[in-house]
Amino acid sequence: MRIRLRTLALTTALAVAGCQGGGAPPSAEAPGAGKTVSGTPPGGAAAGTVVATYAGKQLTSGQVIAEIERLPGPSRAYLAQADRKRQFVENMVMNDLLFAEAERQGYATDPDIERQVSDMRKRLVVQRLMREYQKPPEVTDEQARRYYDDNPTLYSTTQISASHILVKDEAEAKQIRARLEQEPQRFADIAREQSTDKTSGAKGGELGKFGQGRMVPEFERAAFALKPGEISQPVKTQYGWHVIIVTERQDGERKPFDQVKEQIKATLRNKALQENVQGRMDALKKQANLSIDEAALAGITPPPATTPAGTSPVPANPHAGGGH
Would you place residue 136 in the very low, low, confident or very high pLDDT band (cuts 50, 70, 90)?
confident
Same domain, 141 and 280: yes
The pLDDT value recorded for residue 306 is 66
Q: Which residue segment(s) compose the domain that 47 sits in?
A: 2-112
Q: pLDDT band for 16, please (50, 70, 90 cuts).
A: very low
pLDDT category of residue 302 using cuts at 50, 70 and 90: confident
Say if residue 52 is in the same domain as residue 175.
no
Say which residue, 291 or 16, is predicted with more confidence.
291
Say what the pLDDT of residue 35 is: 46
pLDDT band at 156 (very low <50, low <70, confident <90, very high): confident
Closest CA to 174 of 238, 241, 237, 227: 241
**Residue predicted with more confidence, 321 or 168:** 168
Residues 213 and 96 in one domain: no
> Is the pLDDT confidence value at 21 over 90?
no
Q: 175, 178, 322: which is closest to 239 by C-alpha?
A: 322
Do 107 and 143 share a domain, yes or no? no
CA gap 138, 147 in Å, rounded: 15
Q: Is residue 94 located within the same domain as residue 201?
A: no
pLDDT at 30: 34
Contact in structure between 57 and 24 (CB atoms under 8 Å) = yes
Q: Does one domain contain both 107 and 205?
A: no
Share of the chain above pLDDT 90, in %: 64
Using pLDDT thresholds of 50, 70 and 90, give the confidence band for residue 320. Answer: low
The number of C-alpha atoms within 13 Å of 157 and in the hemisphere containing its C-beta is 5
Q: Is the pLDDT of residue 130 over 70?
A: yes
Task: Examine residue 191 and state whether it is found in any structural domain, yes or no.
Answer: yes
Is 122 a domain residue? no
The answer to whether residue 296 sits within a structural domain is: no
The pLDDT value given to residue 324:
43
- Residue 303 has what pLDDT? 86
Binning pLDDT at 50, 70 and 90, where does residue 308 land?
Answer: low
Tell me: pLDDT of 3 over 70.
no
**Looking at the structure, do residues 41 and 189 belong to the same domain, yes or no?**
no
167 shares its domain with 95: no
Same domain membership, residue 41 and residue 107: yes
User: Does the pLDDT value for residue 251 go beyond 50?
Assistant: yes
Q: Share the mean pLDDT of the chain.
A: 82
pLDDT mean over 17-37: 37
The answer on pLDDT for 106 being more than 70 is yes
Q: Are residues 152 and 222 in the same domain?
A: yes
**Residue 198 sits in the same domain as residue 107:** no
Closest listed residue to residue 191, CA positions, set 176, 174, 209, 175: 176
Name which residue leads in pLDDT, 223 or 41. Answer: 223
Predicted confidence (pLDDT) at residue 202 exceeds the cutoff of 60: yes
Say whether pLDDT at 9 is over 90: no
**Residue at 305 is within a domain:** no
Q: Is residue 322 part of a domain?
A: yes
Torsion sign across C-alpha atoms 183, 188, 191, 194: negative
In a domain, 123, yes or no: no
In a domain, 297, yes or no: no
Percentage of the residues of the chain whose pLDDT score is greater than 70: 80
CATH code (residue 321): 3.10.50.40
Could you tell me the pTM of the whole model? 0.52
Specify whether 12 is located in the same domain as 73. yes
CA distance 42 to 15: 13
Asked, for residue 128, whether it belongs to a domain, the answer is: no
How many domains, in total, are found in the chain?
A: 2
Secondary structure of the chain as H, E, C letters: CHHHHHHHHHHHHCCCCCCCCCCCCCCCCCCCCCCECCCCCHHHCCCCEEEEEECCEEEEHHHHHHHHCCCCHHHHHHCCCHHHHHHHHHHHHHHHHHHHHHHHCCHHHCHHHHHHHHHHHHHHHHHHHHHHHCCCCCCCHHHHHHHHHHCCCCCECCEEEEEEEEECCHHHHHHHHHHHHHCHHHHHHHHHHHCCCHHHHCCCCEEEEEECCCECHHHHHHHHCCCCCCECCCEEECCEEEEEEEEEEECCCECCHHHHHHHHHHHHHHHHHHHHHHHHHHHHHHHCCCCCCHHHHHCCCCCCCCCCCCCCCCCCCCCECCCC
Q: Of 63, 97, 112, which marks where a domain is finished?
A: 112
* Rounded-to-integer distance, Cα 98 and Cα 30, Å: 20
Which of 78, 112, 146 marks a domain boundary? 112
User: Last residue of a domain, which of 59, 79, 112?
Assistant: 112
Contact 22, 57 (CB under 8 A): no
More confident residue, 315 or 124: 124
pLDDT of 115 = 94
